[in-house]
Amino acid sequence: MMVGLAGASGFSPSSLVFNLGPNQEECQIITITSNSLTINVDDKWATNSDVEWKVSLFNSSAEEHNLNINYDNSLGEEERELQVCLSGSELGEYHGVIIMKEEQQGNSVVQMGVWLKVVIEEVEEIVEEPVVNNEGSGGRTSQTIFIPKENTTVETSGDLENLDEVESESSDIESSEEEFKSGITGAAVGLLDSKGSVAIISLVVLVVIAVGVYVRRNK
């Protein structure tokens, strides 16, 4: 929108759209073409989003909508870019206009306007956290947590609830292996003890027989 445009005066873009979350700030740039030594800047707002897009119908202020708008109120001769920063705390759609007014020359005043559309809405956040299990519990798994801004409920996915059970099963397996090894060792020792006893008895019998043979020969 441009009111009373004359000479080489102009601006770009013709409108700014801000899509924001609550208390999120965004800044955008308006480029101005003008020969004026100074340019004064102001803003006006519609009472609601249903008001027609006409400057004469915009009679509200940013403060009334809990909007924070920041820009330089006056631009010098060498300043031909206007940075507009906006944020708001309340959900909704808001319509406004930035008015840039050149110095008066004779009986004429050039004013330029850039429409402002601000939409503030909740945005869902997604946080993904990797979870590394112990090597004995079967490797790696992952956990994804969804955190809606309006809902404190936390949902989880992944086989995490059975993690303690898996670790317990692993410990039982290790204990069984130790018992199995101990059983084998004990059996081997018992077998060796049994063979040793048989060898001693056999040796005694052989000695007795040898003594008997010796005595008979000497007779």
Nearest 5°: the CA angle 143, 149, 152 is 65
Q: What is the pLDDT of residue 187?
A: 43
pLDDT for position 205: 62
What is the C-alpha separation between 197 and 45, in angstroms, rounded?
A: 108
CB 97 within 8 A of CB 114: yes
At 32, phi and psi to the nearest 5?
Answer: -120, 140
Predicted confidence at residue 126, as pLDDT, reads: 58
8 A C-beta contact, residue 14 and residue 115: yes
Task: Please tell me the predicted confidence (pLDDT) of residue 133.
Answer: 56
The SS3 call for residue 216 is helix
pLDDT at 106: 82
The series of mean pLDDT values per 10 residues for the chain, 219 residues long, is 54 96 97 94 97 95 97 94 97 97 88 96 70 55 45 30 34 43 44 50 66 67
pLDDT of residue 109: 86
Tokens, residue 86: 């906006």
Q: Distance between CA 1 and CA 23 in Å, rounded?
A: 28
Share of the chain above pLDDT 90, in %: 48
> 192: which DSSP letter?
H
pTM for the model: 0.55
pLDDT of residue 136: 53
Architecture of domain 2-120: Sandwich (2.60)
User: What distance in Å separates the CA atoms of residue 44 and residue 68, rounded to the nearest whole number?
Assistant: 13
Please give the radius of gyration of the chain, using alpha carbons only, rounded to the nearest integer: 45
Number of helices (H), then strands (E), belonging to the chain: the values are 1, 12
Domain-by-domain residue ranges, the chain? 2-120, 124-161, 169-219
Coil, strand or helix: which one is 107? coil
Residue 158 phi, psi (nearest 5): 115, 155
pLDDT at 192: 40
Digit-coded pLDDT (tens) for 189-217 = 444 444 555 556 666 667 667 767 666 66
What's the pLDDT at 105?
82
